[in-house]
Structure 1
């Protein structure tokens, strides 16, 4: 009985962890690729390039549903925290610099489960 309860717990935990990704039609690799031109800005500041801002816009446009926005948020959260050379302040204000309103900050500290 204890073994079955543990197996059930693990199965439910796996479903909860993967739910934000499986509900959405967002591909994390595609999103990160769209932000590659933003890397110089996120590392050094200044002004983001036009191609960077177009990438941010395309990410925003692709996330048309709440599950898509949450999936995009989780992806951006993971990507922004995985590269130590990224200045977190620069990545957090990137959408504002591009004059695009994202429903989340690009930050490893964003609480994506709250994104609507």
Structure 2
């Protein structure tokens, strides 16, 4: 329920919402909280999200949504930071609660 509230209040950029971000990462939920093996469908969602976030504004939205939803759902920052590498992508900014999303381009 808290995630739903966070999603409703989180920022949006044209064409991509926090709901989209959370939905893309649902298969990653266990890894993001407990580590272990990354499911293949998790990487599919991560890659799809990376492809959709093709402007600075969209990447900022993804960054902000990751932080808000991650905090609300108890995501382990270490596992979140490792996810892009585990899925063989580069997002261009640190996946971290301390990242200043307004500086993501």
- CA deviations over 1:68-91 (Å, ceiling 9, x no partner): 11111111111111112x221011
Residue number in structure 1 paired with 2:90: 101
1:59 aligned partner = 49
**Residue 75 of structure 1: which of 60, 65, 78 is its match?**
65
| Partner Cα distance (2:68, 2:19) in 1 | 11
Contact 2:27–2:41 under 8 Å retained in 1: yes
Q: TM-score, normalised by structure 2?
A: 0.82
- Whether 1:110 and 2:105 are equivalent positions in the alignment is no
Gaps (5+ residues) in structure 1? 1-20
The number of aligned residues is 97
TM-score normalized by the length of structure 1? 0.75
> Which is higher, the Rg of structure 1 or of structure 2?
1
